[in-house]
Chains A and B, each alone.
Chain A
């Protein structure tokens, strides 16, 4: 126990005598938390619309007005031919083209039917899908208005109608930032914690100071714990700074308990730091460990559900996400912050991470050899 105490003292001194520590601990998370969520806004709004109106009737003008005033669309281009409007899509000036055929109003009134063409740039599938759904909804509303004008509303519904009522729970304002900030915070804590940990043992190897530890009576477990605990405390400090920034700048107050977040984070950090230390015991040079940890963090972050939903991934990628500690923390963080989940709701995630923590740290202890 005494040995561990001295070891901790040594590690903490080493960390805090590094002048860049303040920058990494406080300034970097602050800057990133302030810029990243502003950039990571995937809300579909401001869809650029191109219009080709061959009809120039009262109806076509009314429809265009209705679409533009909905707030989702910006009228960017008004072309006289369809091919000219397509040019707008090619140049990324517009995302969606609406073509109203000649005699649109006349046909609708006289022949009871008229067709409108909507063409969307589908390279970004989500934007195309949501954009065309919005515009179809507006056209449907417009259609209803036209019918009301021509048909006397009967006392009873002539035909069975199903009313669909929508509720958006947990984020009724559909604020994308509330969704992204907790996830980005997880990414930050992970990147800082694991890059510190993965570099640490290798650095002692490269500097040669590991020889001194190897000849001391420190046990392998004590050595790994002595490396683990300081970074664990450091990462929790970063998390605290991050939660504070989320509250001050974005007004994000977790619906659940802060305690739930900290309980989960403590276990999560044991797992992710253990992985870092494990990589560190294998690597020979700092360059190697950086390259590997860089690659691993990149895969972990992109396959964590932070940017794209996990259910959309193919089966094999979903299995990878189950082996990825980051995806658990992002899921839990969002659940606690947005839905107010408690410890009972996240028991499986806690168990999974306990497993990771034991596995990675155990492996790191086994793999650390006092003989060189």
Chain B
């Protein structure tokens, strides 16, 4: 046991003395969570729009003012002809154009019917849909105010309740995803590189002739990274609560234990990669291709898994980050207990055991 302890101490010293890497390890997650937590959001706001007002009367001015005042829109241009619309779209200056025809108010007051056209740049379909909805809502409000808010007969009212995230903040969706991404990167990539580095430098030979069994050598390698990860988890959680304003509604202890479990899963992937790779560069490329991209794509935090073709949905099941993402969302944001996530936890445990078994049984005691 004392041999094992010495090995752990050696690995810790490795990391501790390589200040540059340690610096990156600690700061990268912090920078990322701040950068992505604030910047990555699908909320639509301040979208640049233009108005083509061919009528210029009280009604169109009132509607234009309402729209310009809304936080969703940013009126950047008043157009003068229908032809300008296409040109402005092509320069990428606006996302939407609103066209009022001639005699808008006259039609509205005399024939009780007027038309307005909303032209959206649908190259980004979701933004186009959202913007059209917002603009329609503003125009409908104006129409209601014309009717003196008179109650129409036979009205169905809809009461809307946004659960968990009433302000529709993007961070609620992204924080759990970034947690998965960061832990995966730090643990798997760094561990795999650390082990391969010994091979590359030739120091692996020294370790392999030590009396400690290979199993314990690997465990000793991963423990310092486990510690760094726990530090990372703490940083991320503190930042998300105090800086991003995403509260932890569930049990903090459960969340931390699940995170440690996921860390162990990532570490075992790192060991597996290091078995196959001969150079640090290869280890890095493998981690990037087999971990970074799948985590980004299949964990479900950027793109909804249920929209993907069935084949990809099946593939997404083997990505550990997907299960961790579900767990964090359930525990941290929905505030559910262990009984809601026991299945996902079991899957992660199973994956970890299998990965550990494969990587340890394949660990080569002899150098080629």
Which A residues form the contact surface with B (CB < 8 A)?
A: 35-36, 38-46, 48, 86, 89-92, 108-109, 112-130, 132-133, 135-136, 139, 142-143, 146-147, 150-151, 156-172, 174-176, 178-179, 199, 286-288, 290-291, 294-295, 298-299, 302-303, 307-309, 311-314, 317, 320, 331, 334-335, 338-342, 345-346
Residue with the highest number of chain A CB atoms closer than 10 Å, among B40, B111, B303, B340: B303
Contacts of B146 in A (CB 8 A): 159-160
Which B residues form the contact surface with A (CB < 8 A)?
A: 20-21, 24, 28, 35-36, 38-48, 74, 86-87, 89-92, 95, 108-109, 111-130, 132-133, 135-136, 139-140, 142-143, 146-147, 150-166, 168-170, 172-173, 193, 280-281, 284, 288, 292, 297-298, 302-304, 306-309, 312, 326, 329-330, 333-334, 336, 340
What 14 new A-B contacts, CB under 8 Å, besides A43-B307, A143-B155, A341-B91? A39-B298, A43-B126, A112-B151, A113-B157, A122-B172, A124-B304, A130-B129, A143-B154, A159-B146, A162-B142, A168-B120, A287-B284, A291-B21, A309-B127
Contacts of B113 in A (CB 8 A): 157, 160-161, 163
User: Judging by beta carbons under 8 Å apart, are A150 and B153 in contact?
Assistant: yes
Contacts of A171 in B (CB 8 A): 122-123, 125, 128
User: Judging by beta carbons under 8 Å apart, are B153 and A339 in contact?
Assistant: no
User: Judging by beta carbons under 8 Å apart, are B124 and A125 in contact?
Assistant: no
CB distance from A166 to the nearest CB of B (A): 5
- In the assembled complex, the Cα of A6 lies from the Cα of B348 at a distance in Å of 55
Contacts of A86 in B (CB 8 A): 163
Contacts of A121 in B (CB 8 A): 163-164
CB distance from B280 to the nearest CB of A (A): 5
Nearest CB in chain A to that of B74: its residue: A311
A122-B166, A165-B118, A167-B119 known; A46 and B153 CB under 8 Å? no
Contacts of A339 in B (CB 8 A): 89-90, 92, 121, 123
Contacts of A287 in B (CB 8 A): 193, 280-281, 284
CB distance from B315 to the nearest CB of A (A): 9
Contacts of A118 in B (CB 8 A): 158-161
- In the assembled complex, the Cα of A18 lies from the Cα of B84 at a distance in Å of 52
- In the assembled complex, the Cα of A128 lies from the Cα of B168 at a distance in Å of 8
- In the assembled complex, the Cα of A146 lies from the Cα of B340 at a distance in Å of 41
Partner of A169 from the list B112, B120, B161 (CB cut-off 8 Å) is B120
User: Judging by beta carbons under 8 Å apart, are A341 and B126 in contact?
Assistant: no
User: Judging by beta carbons under 8 Å apart, are A90 and B133 in contact?
Assistant: no
A90-B330, A286-B281 known; A162 and B306 CB under 8 Å? no
User: Judging by beta carbons under 8 Å apart, are B157 and A119 in contact?
Assistant: no
Contacts of A151 in B (CB 8 A): 153-154
Contacts of B48 in A (CB 8 A): 311
- In the assembled complex, the Cα of A147 lies from the Cα of B108 at a distance in Å of 22
Partner of B115 from the list A42, A162, A290 (CB cut-off 8 Å) is A162
Contacts of B304 in A (CB 8 A): 41-42, 124, 127
Partner of B128 from the list A125, A135, A174, A312 (CB cut-off 8 Å) is A174
Contacts of B164 in A (CB 8 A): 121-123
User: Judging by beta carbons under 8 Å apart, are A123 and B340 in contact?
Assistant: no
Partner of A108 from the list B40, B150, B156 (CB cut-off 8 Å) is B156
User: Judging by beta carbons under 8 Å apart, are A147 and B115 in contact?
Assistant: no
User: Judging by beta carbons under 8 Å apart, are B40 and A120 in contact?
Assistant: no
Partner of A290 from the list B108, B128, B284, B303 (CB cut-off 8 Å) is B284
A121-B163, A123-B329, A317-B35 known; A143 and B156 CB under 8 Å? yes
- In the assembled complex, the Cα of A139 lies from the Cα of B302 at a distance in Å of 30
Nearest CB in chain B to that of A178: its residue: B123
A46-B306, A309-B124, A311-B46 known; A291 and B24 CB under 8 Å? yes
List, sorted by A's number, 25 A–B pairs whose CB atoms are closer than 8 Å. Answer: A39-B298, A41-B304, A86-B163, A113-B151, A113-B154, A113-B157, A120-B160, A122-B165, A123-B172, A150-B153, A167-B119, A168-B119, A169-B89, A169-B119, A169-B121, A170-B122, A174-B122, A287-B284, A294-B284, A299-B35, A312-B45, A317-B38, A335-B90, A339-B92, A339-B123
User: Judging by beta carbons under 8 Å apart, are B330 and A295 in contact?
Assistant: no
Nearest CB in chain A to that of B333: its residue: A123
- In the assembled complex, the Cα of A165 lies from the Cα of B115 at a distance in Å of 7
Contacts of B165 in A (CB 8 A): 122-123, 125, 128
CB distance from B88 to the nearest CB of A (A): 10
Contacts of A342 in B (CB 8 A): 90
Contacts of B87 in A (CB 8 A): 345
User: Judging by beta carbons under 8 Å apart, are A168 and B152 in contact?
Assistant: no
Nearest CB in chain B to that of A291: its residue: B24
CB distance from B324 to the nearest CB of A (A): 14
User: Judging by beta carbons under 8 Å apart, are B112 and A158 in contact?
Assistant: yes
- In the assembled complex, the Cα of A269 lies from the Cα of B334 at a distance in Å of 45
- In the assembled complex, the Cα of A255 lies from the Cα of B130 at a distance in Å of 25
User: Judging by beta carbons under 8 Å apart, are B39 and A317 in contact?
Assistant: yes
Nearest CB in chain B to that of A108: its residue: B154
User: Judging by beta carbons under 8 Å apart, are B109 and A311 in contact?
Assistant: no
Partner of A164 from the list B39, B118, B329 (CB cut-off 8 Å) is B118
User: Judging by beta carbons under 8 Å apart, are A112 and B143 in contact?
Assistant: no
Partner of B40 from the list A42, A114, A308 (CB cut-off 8 Å) is A308
Nearest CB in chain B to that of A158: its residue: B112
Partner of A139 from the list B119, B158, B284, B307 (CB cut-off 8 Å) is B158
User: Judging by beta carbons under 8 Å apart, are A303 and B35 in contact?
Assistant: yes
Residue with the highest number of chain B CB atoms closer than 10 Å, among A123, A162, A345: A162
A114-B156, A302-B36 known; A130 and B126 CB under 8 Å? yes
Partner of A130 from the list B20, B130, B143, B150 (CB cut-off 8 Å) is B130
Nearest CB in chain B to that of A168: its residue: B122
Contacts of A92 in B (CB 8 A): 326, 330
Nearest CB in chain B to that of A167: its residue: B119
- In the assembled complex, the Cα of A125 lies from the Cα of B304 at a distance in Å of 12
- In the assembled complex, the Cα of A168 lies from the Cα of B96 at a distance in Å of 9
CB distance from B249 to the nearest CB of A (A): 11
- In the assembled complex, the Cα of A291 lies from the Cα of B292 at a distance in Å of 13
Partner of B133 from the list A128, A133, A165, A308 (CB cut-off 8 Å) is A133
A143-B155, A176-B125, A303-B39 known; A125 and B173 CB under 8 Å? yes
CB distance from B78 to the nearest CB of A (A): 19
Contacts of B89 in A (CB 8 A): 169-170, 339
Contacts of B20 in A (CB 8 A): 288
Contacts of B147 in A (CB 8 A): 159-160
Contacts of A320 in B (CB 8 A): 39
CB distance from B269 to the nearest CB of A (A): 17
User: Judging by beta carbons under 8 Å apart, are A120 and B143 in contact?
Assistant: no
Nearest CB in chain A to that of B298: its residue: A39
User: Judging by beta carbons under 8 Å apart, are A147 and B154 in contact?
Assistant: yes
- In the assembled complex, the Cα of A294 lies from the Cα of B92 at a distance in Å of 30
CB distance from A19 to the nearest CB of B (A): 14
